[in-house]
Structure 1
Amino acid sequence: MKKLFLSILIGMSLSTQAQSSKEIMYVGTYSVRGSEGVYVFEFDRKAGTMQQIQSISNGKNPSFLALHPSGNYLYSVNEGPDKAGGASAYAVDKATGKLQFLNSQSTLGGGPCHISIDKTGKTAFVSNYGGGSLAVFPIGTDGKLSAAADSVQDSGTGPNEKRQEKPHVHSATLAPDNRFVYVADLTTDKLNIFDIDVKASTVKPASTPYASVKPGSGPRHFTFHPNGKYGYLVEELTSTVASFSRNAQTGALTLLQDNVKTLPDDFTGQNTSADIHIDPSGKFLYQSNRGANTLAIFSIGNDGKLTKIGDQPTEGKTPRNFLIDPKGDFIFVAHQDTDNITIFKRDQKTGKLTYTGQSVPVPAAVCVIMASR
């Protein structure tokens, strides 16, 4: 009887271990080349492989995704022409990771390309690239998006006549303390800083309302160091990165480095930078380059400044967003033009990457995120 009981316990333990090694991943796409919308995968950490378990229909370019802090809901932007953009909410089955559509709302502007959720899960922020505006949405207790409660229209032009002809709001990043949101405008070469009221789902300019970078740089995505003292900005048009120190009281940013080169020394073609992430330890920063098709790798000093230490080919064309898994062991790169996600093993001591040989087919892959089951 004791042996039987022990066998049952061992079996339960092994089963739990097997389940815990698998995590759920979500992939946003453009609605081309047979894309079915938002894809759901199960990642087996031990094997280093991704297995598709669902796709949920969305033919409106559900490109960028964000998870609710509870893990119970997922949100996508739905890119569209001017004045026709939207955002959608989905319920997450916590047992399987599968999605069920809840509702959609207008983003009050065209070409929404980024969505973020505040840490209380009460407010969503959508960046309208085409419309040049930020839209702010209340989130109900049922996870559904209410109509936008606030919006901010940006204005201005930049020196790059083709890309900076009108405002292009590209991302809205929440501060670690959830008091401020940092909104990157590719055209104005500014990070606009707003105080946020998550209960009312409204924003107002902070006491220091923006930080500027070199004209023509093209701010795109922004990320914070795990210690909250430093922030890092993708400069899309110059394929560079800027580093800042942050005043936690006022939210103000002070420029530490600007126009730090991210391209390989021998690269001479056309390129635009895209995404940026820091590993969980805060020691290394990675930035994707579309054209060179690489991830630039930087070490982060104790003073927050960056030193480039390498370039990793991404094994695909046009790497958009990428994911560093929460444990820091793997990096997943979404390629828009080769319809695949490639998986890399990460050396946590050196920050360097090794391609695992795993290439997962996903049409027009744009954004990849992970949630532990």
Structure 2
Amino acid sequence: MNKLLTSILVGLGIASQVQAQKEIMYIGTYSLRGSEGIYVFEFDRKAGTMQQIQAVSNAKSPSFLALHPSGNYLYSVNEGADKLGGVSSYAVDKATGKLNYMNGQSSLGAGPCHISVDKTGKTAFVSNYGGGSLAVLPIDANGKLAAPTDSVQDAGSGPSKQRQEKAHVHSATLAPDNRYVYVADLGLDKLNIFEIDTKNSTVKPASTPYASVSPGSGPRHFTFHPNGKYAYLVEELTSTVAAFSRNPKTGALTMIQDNVKTLPDDFTDKNTSADIHIDPSGKFLYQSNRGYNALAIFAIGNDGKLTKVGDQPTEGKTPRNFLIDPKGEFVFVAHQDSDNITIFKRDQKTGKLTYTGQSIKVPAPVCIIMAAR
């Protein structure tokens, strides 16, 4: 009997180890070329492979996604919604990772393109690219989205007549201390800084209300170094990156590098930069380039400044969004125009990437996130 019990326990142990190696990934898409909406995959870390387990119907281009801090809920912007915008909430089945639709709300502006959730899990911030505004939505205890309780409308323009004819709010990124949210406006070449009232789901301008970047650069996405002292901004229109130091008391940003080139000198075709991430160790920064179709790789110095390490072709067209897994072992790149996600192994000492040969078909993927387990 003891031998049998031991055998069963050993078997269960092996099974749990296998299960622990699999993680859940969520893919946001544009409603193009047969896309069904949000795709759910299981990632097998040992094998380095992804397998689809669900497709969640949403015909309104559920592009950018965000997970609730509890892991129990997922939120999508619906970029193809009407002029009032749209945001959806989903319950996450913790056993399988599958999604069940709960409810939707307006984002109070056209073209919602980014959503983030504060660390208390009580407030969502939605960036309306077309509407040039930020919407603030409370999250109920059951994970559902409530109607917006606050919004901020930007106004103005930039030197690029085609892309900066008006305000275009592109992302809202929470500070590590959860006290401030940084809102990138591509049209105004500004990072607006707001203090957050998490109890009432409202915002107000910080004492230093914004940081400006070079005219015509086009702020897009923003990310913080793990130590919280430094932060980095994608400048979409000039295919560059800006580096900042941050005052944790006031939230104010001080630029330490501007217009750092991400493209090789000999590349002269059209390109726009898109996404930006730092590896978990804080040693390397990656930025995606659409046109050159590669990730630019930078080493991060102790002073927060960047030094170019190299470029990694992404094996697809238009790498809009990418993910560095929480362990820093893999990088996943979502290609909007070649309908695929490619997987790379990451050298944690050099920061360089090696293509694994894995390319997963997904129609018009534009966002990829992983549920921590």
Q: Taking structure 1 as the reference length, what is the TM-score of the superposition? A: 0.99
**In structure 2, what is the equivalent of residue 283 of structure 1?**
283
1:29 to partner: Cα distance: 0.1
Q: What is the alpha-carbon distance in structure 1 between the residues aligned to residue 15 and residue 344 of structure 2?
A: 27
Conserved in 2, the CA contact under 8 Å of 1:82 and 1:130? no
Counterpart position of 2:135? 135
Partners of 1:131 and 1:248 in 2: CA distance:
30
1:80-91 aligned within 5 A: 80=80, 83-91=83-91
Residues 99-248 of structure 1: matches in 2 within 5 Å? Answer: 99-248=99-248
Measured after TM superposition, the shift of residue 82 of structure 1 is 6.2
Alpha carbons 1:184, 1:191 under 8 Å: kept:
yes
State how far apart, in whole Å, the 1-side matches of 2:112 and 2:93 are: 26
Q: How does 1:324-339 map to 2 (within 5 A)?
A: 324-339=324-339
Contact 1:82 1:131 (C-alpha < 8 Å) held by counterparts: no
Unaligned segments of structure 1, at least 5 residues? none
Deviation at residue 3 of structure 1 after TM alignment: 2.0
After TM superposition, the structure 1 = structure 2 runs for residues 39-118 of structure 1, keeping only pairs within 5 Å, are: 39-80=39-80, 83-118=83-118
Amino acid at match of 1:179: R
Counterpart mapping for 1:243-282 below 5 A? 243-282=243-282
CA distance in 1, matches of 2:269, 2:81: 30
More displaced stretch, 75-84 vs 177-186: 75-84
Aligned-residue offset at 1:264:
2.2
1:126 maps to a residue whose letter is V
What pairs up with 1:334-345 in 2 under 5 angstroms?
334-345=334-345
1:372 shift after superposition = 3.0
* Partner Cα separation in structure 1 for residue 153 and residue 210 of structure 2: 15
In structure 2, the residue matched to 1:293 is 293
Q: How does 1:307-322 map to 2 (within 5 A)?
A: 307-322=307-322
Partner of 2:371: 371
Q: Is the 8 A contact 2:297 2:308 kept in 1?
A: yes
Computed over aligned residues only, the root mean square deviation of the Cα atoms, in angstroms, reads 0.8
Q: Secondary structure at the match of 1:50?
A: strand
CA distance in 1, matches of 2:264, 2:3: 61
Give the TM-score normalised by the residue count of structure 2: 0.99
* Contact 1:300-1:307 within 8 A present in 2 as well: yes
Aligned residue type for 2:254 = T
Decide whether aligned partners of structure 1 residues 95 and 311 sit closer, same or farther in structure 2, where only a CA change above 3 A counts: same
> Are residues 236 and 82 of structure 1, via their aligned partners in 2, closer, same or farther at CA, if it must alter by over 3 Å?
farther
Cα distance in 2, alignment partners of residues 213 and 268 from structure 1:
23
Aligned residue identity for 2:87: A
Distance in 1 between residues matched to 2:260 and 2:59, nearest whole Å: 38
Secondary structure in structure 2 of the residue aligned to 1:23: strand
Say if 2:60 and 2:81, in contact at 8 Å, map to a contact too: no
Whether 1:25 and 2:25 are equivalent positions in the alignment is yes
Flag structure 2 segments of 5+ consecutive residues without an equivalent: none
* Partner SS for 1:187: coil
**Given residue 76 of structure 1, which amino acid in structure 2 is its aligned partner?**
S
Structure 2 counterpart of 1:85, which letter?
G
Deviations 1:185-215 (A, max 9, x none): 0011010000000110100000000001100
Relative to structure 2, which stretch is displaced further, 18-27 or 259-268?
Answer: 259-268
How far does the alpha carbon of each residue in 1:283-329 deviate from its partner, in whole angstroms, 9 at most, with x for none?
00000000000000000000000000000000000001100000000
**Cross-structure match for 2:12:** 12
Conserved 8 A contact 2:234-2:240: yes
The one-letter code of the counterpart of 1:59 is A
Secondary structure, aligned partner of 2:196: strand
**Does structure 2 conserve the Cα–Cα contact (< 8 Å) formed by 1:124 and 1:138?**
yes
Aligned partner letter, 1:50:
M
Residue 78 (structure 1) shift = 0.2
Q: For 2:209 and 2:172, how far apart are their aligned partners in 1?
A: 14
Q: Which residue number in structure 1 is paired with residue 347 of structure 2?
A: 347
